[in-house]
């Protein structure tokens, strides 16, 4: 398993989708989870979801602040 935030653009997009999910939760969370479950050969699903959740928490924080 790889480390968190070590997969370049892939990690970047997980965080971006997490931030977007704070604004559009039903759509983005559904699409992201469907993709993660569809790509069942992936060994880093837990890391991908952790990066997504980090982005989600950051997005919620930005909504609270702004």
pTM of the model: 0.89
Dist. CA 40–CA 2, nearest whole Å: 16
- Tell me the mean pLDDT in the region 5-26: 95
With 80 as the cut, is the pLDDT of residue 60 above it? yes
Choice among 1-5, 22-26, 49-53, 59-63 with the minimum mean pLDDT: 1-5
Q: Name the pLDDT band for 64 (thresholds 50, 70, 90).
A: very high
Q: What's the confidence (pLDDT) of residue 24?
A: 96
**Among 58, 48, 49, CA closest to 22:** 58
């Amino acid at each position: 398993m790889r480390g968190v935030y070590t997969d370049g653009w892939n990690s970047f997009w997980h965080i971006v989708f997490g931030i977007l999910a704070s604004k559009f939760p039903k759509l983005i969370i559904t699409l992201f989870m469907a993709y993660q479950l569809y790509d069942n050969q992936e060994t880093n699903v837990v890391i991908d979801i952790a990066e997504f959740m980090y982005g989600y928490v950051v997005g919620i924080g930005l909504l609270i602040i702004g």
